[in-house]
Structure 1
Amino acid sequence: MKSQDKGVVVSPCTNVCSLDDDDICIGCYRTGGEITKWGRASIAEQKEILEKVKEREKNSPFYSE
């Protein structure tokens, strides 16, 4: 059973913590605000953040399938 199945959303943090000029972490693709909010966010909010993260990563120049 995945941890998300238990009502827990795993943080996308990769321990590469550095914000770029657009306030996006180059490791996990969250904004500074999303990183700060993560621990207090509801599961639904965390899932919304993860959707934004996926889109940012996909649009990143470093993305490869």
Structure 2
Amino acid sequence: MSAANDSPCIRQCCLNQDDVCMGCFRTLDNILKWTAYSAAMRQQVLAECAARKAGQPRVILNRSGTDHDLK
């Protein structure tokens, strides 16, 4: 993000079963309310996003390069 009002959206939006975007890791509620959040709240949301991202399994191509294995 380059400015305080910028969204952390990376344009890879896809919600999982918990309504968490797999691109930016915000919840649907966070996405909808982003522009109303204070700078402090945005920083809290970004910290939560980083924690969600760190907890996600990595997708790695298997040796054939055709299928994906979760690690």
Q: TM-score, normalised by structure 2?
A: 0.73
Corresponding residue of 2:45: 49
Structure 2: which amino acid aligns with 1:24? V
**For 1:58, which of 33, 54, 57 is the aligned residue?**
54
Counterparts of 2:35 and 2:58, CA distance in 1:
27
Q: Secondary structure at the match of 2:52?
A: helix
**For 1:39, which of 35, 39, 46 is the aligned residue?**
35
Which protein is richer in strand relative to its size?
2
Structure 2: which amino acid aligns with 1:58? A
Counterparts of 2:36 and 2:18, CA distance in 1:
23
- Structure showing greater radius of gyration is 2
> How many positions carry a matched residue from both structures?
59
RMSD over aligned CA atoms reads 2.0
Q: TM-score, normalised by structure 1?
A: 0.79
Please list every run of 5 or more consecutive structure 2 residues that lacks an aligned counterpart in the other structure: 60-71
Which protein is richer in helix relative to its size?
1
Superposed structure 1 runs of 4+ greater than 3 Å apart: none
Identity, in percent, stands at 36
